[in-house]
Amino acid sequence: MLDDEKAYVARCEAALRRMLDGARLNVVIGERVAGDRYSAERLGRHLKSLAKELGEEPGGPPFFGRLDFGSDAAAGDHRAQRYYIGRRHISGDVGQQPMVIDWRAPVSRAFYRAGARDPQGVAVRRRFGWAGMTLTGFEDERLDHGEDLGATSRIVAAEIERPRVGPMRDIVATIQPEQDELVRADLEESICVQGAPGTGKTAVGLHRAAYLLYAHRQRLERGGVLVLGPNRAFLGYISAVLPALGEVDVEQTTLERLLAPGPVQGVDGDAAAAVKHDARMADVLRRALYGRVRRPTGPVTVPDGSYRWRVAEEELRRIVDDTRREAPPYAVGRERVLSRTVTMLQRQAEARGRTVNAAWTRKMGRAVTPFLDAVWPAVRPQEVVAELLGDPAALARAADGTLTPQEQAAIGWARPPRTFKSARWSAADAVLIDEVAGLLERPRSYGHVIVDEAQDLSAMQCRAVARRSEHGSITVLGDLAQGTTPWAARDWRDRLAHLGKPGAQVIALTTGFRVPAAVVALANRLLGELEVDVPPTRSFRSDGRLRVEEVPDLTRAAVAAVREALLREGSIAVVAADAAVEGLAAALWDAGVTITEAGEAGDARVTVVPATVAKGLEYDHVVVVEPAEIVEAGARGLNRLYVVLTRAVSRLDVLHRRPLPPQLAGA
């Protein structure tokens, strides 16, 4: 029977080659047959992108599952049909059904969701085991006989427990039913996934992106899909997943880089950052911007040949007041005031029998500009923020009743730059500038935005995301227990409101696929102290090893732990307080151990990871150095330690010289 399946593999590979050859040939023919140059180019571009998609796709097994539908009515249209499920669609011969169905196609849903209790018409579900490109075996579940292995399937368990090497991989072959529900949620639905470490939030988010692009290709290609992660190391770690699923056009970045593409030059103190990230700043900025709009004083008069046109002060006031009431984006408002004023002039001119054309309108527009600059001046967002932070009187005007005098003092610049162009903007300033830019002009709205580690976003950062998903939906991924920024969320409701999706459903994932049970138990000792209400997690994994050791020399012990870990397969990380990282890296280097930077692709199996960068990453073997120092290194230190302790897939060593934090004592 395995031989039959191997023969099918060979047929699939041949069919895939034919598809690729066909696509390439179409490019050539398409260029020749198109009637005119315009359609030749359009057709060519379309066919080339198809060929590129097919050709660029990284190789891999052609399928991972098979569904045999039963012959009763429950099977519906699929009665007695057999389907192979894989990462990509493979066409059959002309008039024949596909050799392999895309995992995202509607019929594939049963592969993930069918169970003994609800077989969905499926008689047998087959999972295939592979070693590289070689088919090594399969495992059947006779759902029609009530057989349902669920996550105890040998093949599923092997995939989840495999030692981790290199960057994150896709999980299409083993998506669990509760994950699949989130992956395939409707495009219109915004969802928030609260999940403990290793429950698959990131995996779910990335697969959801791939699913939505498949199900709503045209709409999303127009709007675009954006994935936001916490830092560069994290993005490096996840960057290969979507391309492996055939999706190369998803923008993956950090919010910081999205808002300030250049380097951030300024640094805020804690007090200033706290105020700048507070939702009240939205009000302050709005007032600062609209404080520039002035009441017209006096009429506008414009000489025009032997005539002189005039708009009275009263009328000008009405124009400005009406425009303010309509509340368009600021830049649109300016255009409106201009065109309404010119219209008034035009009416007078036409009443006098003057012929009015485009050149005349432009001339009037120029003549009205000084008035416009006085009542509704053009501004740049940086200018507004610089004035606010650099001029205490301006700040007081905009923040009166909203920020206390102390808060105003905290964000004011001690030494304002000469002009806004020479300001050294901080990361928080970039968020403020973006808020003003959003008042001036609405930014591009994506079709779907996926925000990972969203618990760490401030209210103002959430608003920046909301502006970019105004006409789309979002997937919010996070864990309240892993919040490490000073403004991290303690509950999801207010964050979802700032994200512009107050009605989004919050769904919890509670099965952990990364962290072994013994390690979960250790980390859970901290949960009670983190002041968040999150459901407990059940670890899928009973394997794994935890070692907590008091040592006289941390560096020497860390080097020894790494040496021992190197005897086995898998990635290794030494995680320590940021200040200790350099010393540890140097010691490992001296001991002849090659290391790579967190999130960088490299051959070395060992990484030294600063505690502040560890979020979202995972390694097969983790060596945590001096927990007490990690806790002390900043606010929310216990949350930080919780993140650090939950990065291990197989083995965790906790090395300490000083006493462990009391919550871990006796571990």
Residue ranges for the known binding site for ATP are 195-202
Q: Are 646 and 201 in contact (CB under 8 A)?
A: no
Q: Which is nearer to ligand ATP, 171 or 565 (CB)?
A: 171
Residue 202 touches ligand ATP, criterion: CB under 6 A: yes
Q: Which is nearer to ligand ATP, 115 or 296 (CB)?
A: 115
Residue 230 touches ligand ATP, criterion: CB under 6 A: no
Residues written for the chain: 667
Residue 231 touches ligand ATP, criterion: CB under 6 A: no
Q: Name the nearest CA neighbour of 103 among 220, 263, 214.
A: 214
Residue 618 touches ligand ATP, criterion: CB under 6 A: yes
Q: Spell out a b/e string for 532-567, using b for 16 or more CB atoms within 10 Å of the CB, else e.
A: bebeebebbbeebebebeebeebbebbbbbbeebee
Binding mask 566-605 for ligand ATP (x = CB under 6 A): ----------------------------------------
Q: Which is nearer to ligand ATP, 65 or 198 (CB)?
A: 198
Residue 175 touches ligand ATP, criterion: CB under 6 A: yes
Q: Name the nearest CA neighbour of 349 among 335, 337, 367.
A: 367
Distance of CA 218 to the CA centre of its chain: 21
Q: Which two tokens stand for residue 357?
A: 């054309």
Q: Please, which residues have CB within 8 angstroms of residue 613's CB and are 6 or more apart in sequence?
A: 231, 233, 598, 599
| Structure letter (DSSP) for residue 184 | T
Q: How many residues bind ligand ATP (CB under 6 A)?
A: 22
Q: CB 266 → ligand ATP: shortest distance, Å?
A: 29
Q: Which of 61, 65, 115, 198 binds ligand ATP (CB under 6 A)?
A: 198
Where in 507-546 is the site for ligand ATP (CB under 6 A)? 513-514
Q: CB 20 → ligand ATP: shortest distance, Å?
A: 29
Residue 85 CB burial class (10 angstroms; 0-12, 13-18, ≥19): buried
Per CB under 6 A, which region of 167-175, 249-257, 337-345, 396-404 contacts ligand ATP?
167-175
Q: Which of 108, 176, 382, 537 binds ligand ATP (CB under 6 A)?
A: 176
Residue type, 537: T
Residues placed in the known binding site: 195-202
Q: CB 395 → ligand ATP: shortest distance, Å?
A: 39
Q: Which is nearer to ligand ATP, 514 or 656 (CB)?
A: 514
The structure tokens 């006096």 sit at 298
Q: Which of 65, 544, 616, 627 binds ligand ATP (CB under 6 A)?
A: 616
The 3-class secondary structure across 249-272, one letter per residue, is CCEEEEHHHHHCCCCCCECCCHHH
Residue 229 touches ligand ATP, criterion: CB under 6 A: no
Residue 642 touches ligand ATP, criterion: CB under 6 A: no
Q: Are 541 and 513 in contact (CB under 8 A)?
A: yes
Q: Name the nearest CA neighbour of 472 among 184, 190, 185.
A: 190
Residue 111 touches ligand ATP, criterion: CB under 6 A: no
Residue 612 touches ligand ATP, criterion: CB under 6 A: no
Q: Which is nearer to ligand ATP, 211 or 330 (CB)?
A: 211
* Residue 47: CB atoms within 10 Å: 19
Residue 201 touches ligand ATP, criterion: CB under 6 A: yes
d(CA 320, CA 519): 64
d(CA 208, CA 190): 12
Q: Are 615 and 484 in contact (CB under 8 A)?
A: yes
Q: CB 159 → ligand ATP: shortest distance, Å?
A: 5
Residue 112 touches ligand ATP, criterion: CB under 6 A: no
Q: Which of 119, 200, 483, 637 binds ligand ATP (CB under 6 A)?
A: 200
Q: CB 111 → ligand ATP: shortest distance, Å?
A: 13
Where in 466-485 is the site for ligand ATP (CB under 6 A)? 479, 482
Q: Which is nearer to ligand ATP, 197 or 637 (CB)?
A: 197
Q: CB 264 → ligand ATP: shortest distance, Å?
A: 24
Q: Which two tokens stand for residue 596?
A: 């790579």
Residue 438 touches ligand ATP, criterion: CB under 6 A: no
Residue type, 198: G
d(CA 237, CA 181): 25
Residue 179 touches ligand ATP, criterion: CB under 6 A: yes
Q: Name the nearest CA neighbour of 118 among 146, 155, 84.
A: 146
Per CB under 6 A, which region of 88-96, 137-145, 193-201, 586-594 contacts ligand ATP?
193-201
Q: Which of 75, 203, 342, 559 binds ligand ATP (CB under 6 A)?
A: 203
Residue 174 touches ligand ATP, criterion: CB under 6 A: yes
**Nearest residue (beta carbon) to ligand ATP:** 200
The alpha helices in 591-660, defined as continuous H runs, are 627-632, 637-645
Residue 197 touches ligand ATP, criterion: CB under 6 A: yes
Query: What is the end-to-end Cα distance of the chain in Å, rounded?
Result: 50
Q: Name the nearest CA neighbour of 452 among 209, 89, 259, 210.
A: 209
d(CA 286, CA 439): 7
d(CA 126, CA 75): 17
Q: CB 87 → ligand ATP: shortest distance, Å?
A: 14
Per CB under 6 A, which region of 113-121, 168-176, 297-305, 307-315 contacts ligand ATP?
168-176
Give the residues lining the site for ligand ATP (CB under 6 A). Answer: 159-160, 171, 174-176, 179, 195, 197-203, 479, 482, 513-514, 616, 618, 646
